[in-house]
Structure 1
Amino acid sequence: MRRLFAIILVCALIAGVGVGCKKAEVKPTEQIVNLGAISCMTGGSATFGTSNKNGATMAVEEFNAAGGAMVGGVKTTINFINEDDAGSPEVGASAAHKLIDNDKVIGIIGAVMSKVSLAVAPIAQAAGVPEISGTSTNATVTLVGDYIFRACFIDPFQGTVMANYVYNTLKLKTAAVLYDNGNDYNKGLAEFFKAGFEKNGGKVVAFEAFTDEDKTVDYKAQLTKIKATNPEFLYLPNYYGSAALILKQAREMGLNVPAGGGDGWDSPDLVKIGGAAVEGGVFSNHFSKDDKSPKVQDFVAKYTTKYGEAPDAFAALAYDAAGLLLDAFKTAGSIKGSDIRDAMKNTTFVGISGAYKFDANRDPIKPAVIIKIVNGQQTYVATVNP
């Protein structure tokens, strides 16, 4: 009996020691979370996607190097995941689902094109994941919901800026417009330029369209109609590839009037494709590498060293968009989408393209710049405030 009792006692003691010595869960001192981007790395506007990826990558690397953020007492750094949308809304939507559902990103930088952002935004909104596009200027993008932001001005402002510049500064009273009616960006910008130009007292003598600038290569039918109206200015609110091709065909036809467009012209390939045909062209933009502010020049130097070429506005805005979202993440100290969103709404972030303050639609209030192609180079002309 005593022996049985002793055995029972030993077993109890062993069990007690086992319970008492159970290893406590060790809280991690560091963690990594994912941040996504959606960029048009392939397709007719691939230079935009490259710039978006490069600018965001730089911002993430600097954020991590500076120590990241503290989330619940844990040091948190960022793993950056960039997805290619190929300039397609459908591909962009699939990329958004992948980033949100599989990668569990805390936010999305992009998309670059308005038509893709309009496909991505409802997905991000439904999932409660903040999305901030550096360059989607179509006015309806942020109206999708309160998780959707942008780092750029919008097309009503951009189109009006160019309308005012052509009428008041260049003193031209008639204009023709040729645009892609299958793209929300191009169509919106065309309409806002027309409205602004006519409000000033100018006359749009031709308003011609085509569909799908990635596939269209012959614009002679529209240009023939435009030439017959004898315009003083040709407005091309299209991306750089088609704008350059249109101008080459226009010049070959003897349509040698001044021309211009929007921020879709901002690519080194504009001159590579268009050559002398784009010389003297003017366009509205968000940023100029010629800005003499120390902040801009420091960014230009670092970017040029890292990537071997100067940044365009798409790179600067992606850098700002990523920097702004990461600053909000750090301020919130949370991976929860609603916390990051709220910090973004109230941001005091100062970026490369200016200080950020959002209006009720989460659109920033900021100036535009006018750029002119002179001797094959982008040259700063003027800054236009809202």
Structure 2
Amino acid sequence: MQNTNSGQVRAGLSFLVTVVALGAIVGLAGCDGGGSAGSGDTIKIGEFASLTGATASFGTASHNGAIMVIDAANAAGGVLGKKIKLITEDDQSKAGEAATAVRKLISRDRVVALLGEIASSRSLEAAPIAQQSKIPMVSPGSTNPNVTKVGDYIFRVCFIDPFQGTVMAKFTLNSLKKTRVAVLTDVRQDYSVGLSQYYKDYLTKNGGTIISEQSYSSGDQDFKAQLTSVKAADPEVVFVPGYYNEVGLIVRQARELGMNVPILGGDGWDSPTLTQIGGPALENTFFSNHFSVEDQNPVIQNFVRDYRERFKKDPDGMAALGFDAAKVLLDAMTRAGSTEPAKVRDALAATVDFQGVTGKISIDPERNATKPAVVLAIKDGGFHFAETIAP
């Protein structure tokens, strides 16, 4: 019995060794062949975006812009002689999903770079994972300054909230000639909290006064209590740096209460859904943005034409940013002559005067984009150019 058992043990061990060895061979084959993001004939780039959920307009638009770039590059032969595969994960506009998506893109799909997100809170979830893995991440539109502070592999092609807040404060003081302001902030969004603070800082240091501050949370539907308090303070302007879903309701309810003063915001307003929700109540409102379809620059008009032809609608600022983020990333790979993440990172950091749809993009030492902003006025249901404000 003992000898028989010993033979069975030896046979079992032999079988186990064989299985482990085969597994190692398969694993190595996977690492060398289709599993390596920059090997073979394909370059894998990951994208995480809110394609569904509360801010789906943002993710859908930025994704549209990105796929325009990828498809055009592939039609022209790809990058470094290889075709590009864009692997997109929907974070559903939910907290926690961006981190899950990025872990999957890096560990399972083994992408060499990442595009995303628009919302700052979701970029802040994902950025530490990209940084730890040393995978370059380019955010199209996360404007909270903390995003790129995560580390030297995190970049963006948009301006940041200290600049955007200053832009709208300057517009309040210099263009509207108003000084008494009420501020309504979404306390659940890093974007809104930060932008409110930068707006208030510049305004109060340059002759303005904040006479009322109110807060709300993403997903709220009724803002009458906050707006009643704001109305009692009798402001000349109301600043609402939130996202389009709530902003449309806030403006409608403000007008219902008889508040006809200018209402201002940031690029989080930029969605066709805003006008669907707010309707005529949005007259006499203004927001900062990254570009205007009315700009006659040939680079912009070519983009607008191609976007309209493909998607049968006008592009918004998030589409333009998604386009620019993908273009800047592919340009960095081309200049690096490699898809090795460290080399791509270095090339991204060296980006100077790249001509994008949203302006000339130069990446500063903090990996932020230095570029102008535009202010758009909402009139007759459309977004119309008001003015440009330089850095």
TM-score by length of 1: 0.90
**Is 1:369 aligned to 2:379, yes or no?**
no
SS at match of 2:369: coil
The size of the alignment, in residue pairs, is 354
Partner of 2:51: 41
- 1:263 maps to which of 255, 263, 267: 267
**Is 1:247 aligned to 2:251, yes or no?**
yes
Give me the identity figure in percent: 45
Partner of 2:350: 346
Q: Is the 8 A contact 1:106 1:337 kept in 2?
A: yes
**Is 1:57 aligned to 2:67, yes or no?**
yes
Query: Residue 29 of structure 1: CA displacement?
Result: 11
Q: Name the CA distance, whole Å, in 2 between partners of 1:302 and 1:69.
A: 21
- 1:116 maps to which of 115, 118, 122: 122
Partner of 1:155: 161
Letter in 2 for 1:181: V
SS at match of 1:357: strand
Q: Name the CA distance, whole Å, in 2 between partners of 1:63 and 1:326.
A: 9
- 2:151 maps to which of 136, 142, 145: 145
Q: Name the CA distance, whole Å, in 1 between partners of 2:95 and 2:361.
A: 28
- 2:233 maps to which of 229, 232, 249: 229
Name the larger-Rg structure. 1
- 1:279 maps to which of 280, 283, 288: 283
Q: Name the CA distance, whole Å, in 2 between partners of 1:179 and 1:331.
A: 42
Partner of 1:219: 223
Partner of 1:381: 386
SS at match of 1:371: strand
Check 1:29–1:111 CA distance in 2 against 1; reply closer, same or farther (3 A cut): closer
Letter in 1 for 2:345: R
Letter in 1 for 2:244: Y
Q: Deviations over 1:204-259 (max 9, x none)?
A: 11111112x1x210111111111110001011100111111001111111122110
Q: Is the 8 A contact 1:132 1:151 kept in 2?
A: yes
SS at match of 1:141: helix
Query: Residue 333 of structure 1: CA displacement?
Result: 2.2
Q: Deviations over 1:142-184 (max 9, x none)?
A: 0000000000000000011101101111011101011111110
**Is 1:294 aligned to 2:298, yes or no?**
yes
SS at match of 2:71: helix
Letter in 2 for 1:338: A
Question: How does 1:297-376 map onto structure 2 within 5 Å?
Answer: 297-348=301-352, 349-376=354-381
- 2:107 maps to which of 101, 111, 121: 101
Q: Name the CA distance, whole Å, in 2 between partners of 1:240 and 1:290.
A: 21
Query: Residue 33 of structure 1: CA displacement?
Result: 2.0
Partner of 2:93: 87
SS at match of 1:104: coil
Q: Name the CA distance, whole Å, in 2 between partners of 1:230 and 1:204.
A: 11
TM-score by length of 2: 0.88
Query: Residue 30 of structure 1: CA displacement?
Result: 6.0
Q: Name the CA distance, whole Å, in 2 between partners of 1:334 and 1:233.
A: 51
Q: Name the CA distance, whole Å, in 2 between partners of 1:331 and 1:67.
A: 16
Q: Where does structure 2 lack aligned partners over 5 or more consecutive residues?
A: 1-37
Runs of 4 or more consecutive aligned structure 1 residues displaced over 2 Å after TM superposition: none
Q: Is the 8 A contact 1:68 1:330 kept in 2?
A: no
Query: Residue 351 of structure 1: CA displacement?
Result: 1.1
Partner of 1:196: 202
